[in-house]
Amino acid sequence: MDLAAILLVPVVVVVTAAVIFLHSLVLKFLSTATVRNKVVVITDALTGLGKECAKLFHEGGARVILCGKTCEKLEGFADNLTSAADPKLTFPPKLVLVDFGDMNSMPDVIAETLECYGCVDVLILNSSLKVKAPVQSTSLKMDKLVMDNNYFGPITLAKGFLPSMMSRRTGHVILINSIQGKLAMPFRATYAASKHAVQAFFDCLRAEVQEYGISVSTVNHTFIISPPPGEKTKKSIWSIFSKQKVMGITPAEAANEILKILNSKKREVVMAHSLPKMAIYARSLFPNVFFAVMAAGVNNAAGVNNIAALADSEEL
């Protein structure tokens, strides 16, 4: 009996891993089928997360519109996407220059984007600008620039595409926000304020447009980590059990979660491990304790570094 029980353990592990792996493949297939022929707009498509989303949706047969600040880089990335995919199953990406630092250009951006295919089915708002500095050292000019990129830019695009979505009674807006839309950290006052503001806007928008069949989802993550250049991500059933428990998430993980959201229409996803999630609950349930911990961290150099590590990243 003991020998049989010992032999049974690895069999159960293998079978469980196989079932989970197959389940994830089925979900990915269903999610990919959801985006086929859909018009998908991705802002800041040249970041790590933007590229992963563009690759995933392009391969899934979506009509992808890539937005970014640099024409040459967008063209190069679009060429790479086209050459790596089957032209019979994919559409050539469309390119639109978008700079949220220039809010006067937004009407032209919206018009140009709508001209590509006549409508927008999915709007992925991925853009973000962060600043790390004490409040007294942050200029009003910087405050406004961060708000333009993190708040006014995304909401202006959303407003621009809403009439088309409402008339067609379909559409999905996905805001890639930060965990700082729910949790403010010292030395991130301007950044956290912009993320709180945009979170509140889309929470309100969700309720307002539900009757028109429009979905609004927010993704609050800690930070995006990228593997060192040249390092390839291993994919196997064993990776489910051996995944590193790090504070951040990879662009591929975030992109796959976004793809799932289109199928599930989940309203909110917090992509974070236990410690950041505990901090969110502590802020709501035990605010005085939370504030004391934050203040203690500011007074301690090591604490400041730990706080910064939670929020600091290339793509918050």
Catalytic residue IDs:
191
Dist CA 90 CA 65 (whole Å): 13
Dist CA 167 CA 132 (whole Å): 41
Give yes or no for a contact between 123 and 64, defined as CB atoms under 8 angstroms apart: no
Dist CA 290 CA 284 (whole Å): 9
Give yes or no for a contact between 133 and 82, defined as CB atoms under 8 angstroms apart: no
Dist CA 22 CA 15 (whole Å): 10
Give yes or no for a contact between 116 and 65, defined as CB atoms under 8 angstroms apart: yes
Q: How many CB atoms neighbour CB 294 within 10 A? A: 17
Q: Label residues 123-140 b or e (16+ Cβ within 10 Å = b).
A: bbbbbbbbbeeeeeebee
Tokens of 117: 């295919």
Dist CA 43 CA 16 (whole Å): 38
CA-to-CA separations, 70 to 91, 126, 202, in angstroms, rounded:
21, 16, 28
CA-to-CA separations, 72 to 123, 238, 244, 277, 306, in angstroms, rounded:
23, 40, 36, 40, 38
CA max distance for the chain: 76
Tokens of 303: 């604490």
